[in-house]
Amino acid sequence: MRRKVSIIGAGNVGASTAQRILEKELANVVLVDVVEGLPQGKALDLAESAPVEGFDCFSIGTNTYEDTANSDVVVITAGLARKPGMSRDDLIMANFEIVRSVTAEVSKKSPSSVIIIVTNPMDVMTYVAAVESRFPKNRVIGMGGILDSARFRAFISMELGVSIENIHAMVLGGHGDDMVPLPRYTTVAGIPIIELIPSDKIDAIIKRTRDGGAEIVGLLKTGSAYYAPSSAVVEMVEAIIKDKKKILPCAAYLDGRYGVRGIYAGVPVKLGRGGVEDILELKLTDEEMAAFLRSVDSVRKGIEKLKMDVTGG
């Protein structure tokens, strides 16, 4: 039986995610948006590309949640995107209300689904969705680490002139300005980049990775990145639907791992049908751990801004 993925928010990230899922024939797609006609128009346009692209999965667009029932995976991209000069945290209050209301709807209709959160600030919004859905925490996951690692890999490939297929990278922590790219765990054909690239160049690549989202916002001016974010979402969707047990950096709920409790942050996880099936604990140096904890602290501050509302107090 064909799988079903519902994507809430039929904007740039949502529509690109739908396109990639359909073209890979991973699942049928339901696109939901508050704007009337937008999800219907994009879903129909995608369906009309099927004869040329040669996929048999279908897409529908809607402004209600009926058709999302019994989804295997729900991707939440609904919310506002950044404008130049804004940080991801500037979106917190507006996107909080949106993610909370969307999660209430999708969790009722698809109680066995895995929810992937894209809306920024992503780590905080993932926490919001986990609380609102009351799902087991391993079935609510944030998309950030794959995107940040993809940017890191792209810049390393540009620096060394080698295939991106040879490059594996690891970025830990929150999907924010203080994310933690880890050169020691980043390799080219198995060789750590610290043996291949001078340290000042690595520092510059790390800085560009951290600012990667803002670099795109600065160029686009009217919105934020969506090609690389949608690719990252689809890698997660594929790992879940195909039960691949793939190791990927994602925002997962930490309950003591890395010495952190009660928060979502980016760590390497094993992704399969059950969502996060395991969390891998990397051995970090004191310096790396301090950077990770700083990043986690920023996420915690974001959550604290919402605490009264999230806990209903």
Catalytic residue IDs: 175
Tell whether residue 131 is a contact of ligand APR (CB under 6 A): no
CB of 50 to ligand APR, least distance (A): 22
Tell whether residue 75 is a contact of ligand APR (CB under 6 A): no
Amino acid identity of residue 77, one-letter, is T
* 183 close to 192: Cβ distance less than 8 angstroms: yes
Tell whether residue 30 is a contact of ligand APR (CB under 6 A): no
Rounded Cα–Cα distance for residues 113 and 116 (Å): 10
Amino acid identity of residue 57, one-letter, is C
Secondary structure class of 120 (helix, strand, coil): coil
- Comparison of 176 and 183: residue with beta carbon closer to ligand APR: 176
Tell whether residue 17 is a contact of ligand APR (CB under 6 A): no
Tell whether residue 35 is a contact of ligand APR (CB under 6 A): yes
Which tokens hold the place of 2?
């064909």
Tell whether residue 14 is a contact of ligand APR (CB under 6 A): yes
Which tokens hold the place of 207?
């800085």
CB of 216 to ligand APR, least distance (A): 10
Tell whether residue 10 is a contact of ligand APR (CB under 6 A): yes
Number of residues that bind ligand APR (CB under 6 A): 30
Tell whether residue 226 is a contact of ligand APR (CB under 6 A): yes
- Comparison of 117 and 202: residue with beta carbon closer to ligand APR: 117
Tell whether residue 81 is a contact of ligand APR (CB under 6 A): yes
Only one of the segments 2-10, 23-31, 236-244, 300-308 lies at the binding site for ligand APR (rule: CB under 6 A); that segment is: 2-10
Residue among 275, 271, 232, 36 at smallest CA distance from 140: 275
Tell whether residue 79 is a contact of ligand APR (CB under 6 A): yes
Q: In 10 A of CB 260, how many CB atoms?
A: 19
CB of 34 to ligand APR, least distance (A): 4
For ligand APR, which residue has the nearest CB? 11
Q: Order of strands across the sheet with 246-255?
A: 59-62, 28-32, 4-8, 73-76, 114-117, 140-142, 246-255, 261-272, 275-279
Of 3, 4, 42, 82, the residue at the interface with ligand APR (CB under 6 A) is 82
Tell whether residue 119 is a contact of ligand APR (CB under 6 A): yes
CB of 66 to ligand APR, least distance (A): 14
Rounded Cα–Cα distance for residues 2 and 27 (Å): 6
Only one of the segments 113-121, 181-189, 191-199, 234-242 lies at the binding site for ligand APR (rule: CB under 6 A); that segment is: 113-121
Tell whether residue 118 is a contact of ligand APR (CB under 6 A): yes
- Comparison of 228 and 296: residue with beta carbon closer to ligand APR: 228
Cα–Cα distances in Å, from 244 out to 23, 127, 165, 256, 276? 19, 25, 19, 25, 11
Rounded Cα–Cα distance for residues 169 and 184 (Å): 9
Secondary structure class of 141 (helix, strand, coil): strand
DSSP string of 217-283, one letter each residue? HHHHSSS---HHHHHHHHHHHHHHHTT--EEEEEEEEEESGGG-EEEEEEEEEEEETTEEEEE----
Only one of the segments 22-30, 164-172, 224-232, 297-305 lies at the binding site for ligand APR (rule: CB under 6 A); that segment is: 224-232
Q: List interacting residues with ligand APR (CB under 6 A).
A: 8-14, 32-35, 38, 77-82, 91, 95, 98, 101-102, 118-120, 223-224, 226, 229
